[in-house]
Chain A
Amino acid sequence: NAGVTQTPKFQVLKTGQSMTLQCAQDMNHEYMSWYRQDPGMGLRLIHYSVGAGITDQGEVPNGYNVSRSTTEDFPLRLLSAAPSQTSVYFCASSSGHIEAFFGQGTRLTVV
Chain B
Amino acid sequence: GDSVTQMEGPVTLSEEAFLTINCTYTATGYPSLFWYVQYPGEGLQLLLKATKADDKGSNKGFEATYRKETTSFHLEKGSVQVSDSAVYFCALSDPPDMRFGAGTRLTVKP
Interface residues of A (CB under 8 A from B): 4, 31, 33, 35, 40-45, 48, 50, 56, 90, 92, 94, 96-97, 99-100, 102-105
Contacts and interface: CB of A to CB of B under 8 A. Distances in A.
B93 interface: yes
B95 A94 contact: yes
A41 B43 contact: no
**B interface, how many residues as a size bin?**
20 to 34
B61 interface: no
Given A42-B103, A94-B93, A97-B51, A102 B98 contact: no
Contacts of A48: 96-97
B98 A94 contact: yes
Contacts of A31: 95-96
A75 B4 CA distance: 27
Interface in B80-108: 89, 91, 93, 95-103
Interface of B: 4, 32, 34, 36, 42-46, 49, 51, 89, 91, 93, 95-103
B102 A42 contact: yes
B98 A104 contact: no
A38 B95 CA distance: 23
Given A33-B98, A42-B103, A94-B95, A105 B43 contact: yes
Given A48-B97, A102-B43, 8 more contacts: A44-B100, A90-B43, A92-B98, A97-B93, A100-B44, A100-B98, A104-B42, A105-B43
A103 B93 CA distance: 18
Contacts of B43: 4, 90, 102-105
Residue in A43, A103, A105 with the greatest tally of chain B CB atoms within 10 Å: A43
A41 B102 contact: yes
Q: Which of B32, B44, B103 has the most CB of A within 10 A?
A: B44
A90 B43 CA distance: 7
Contacts of B89: 42-43
A50 B49 contact: no
* Most chain A Cβ neighbours within 10 Å, of B89, B98, B102: B98
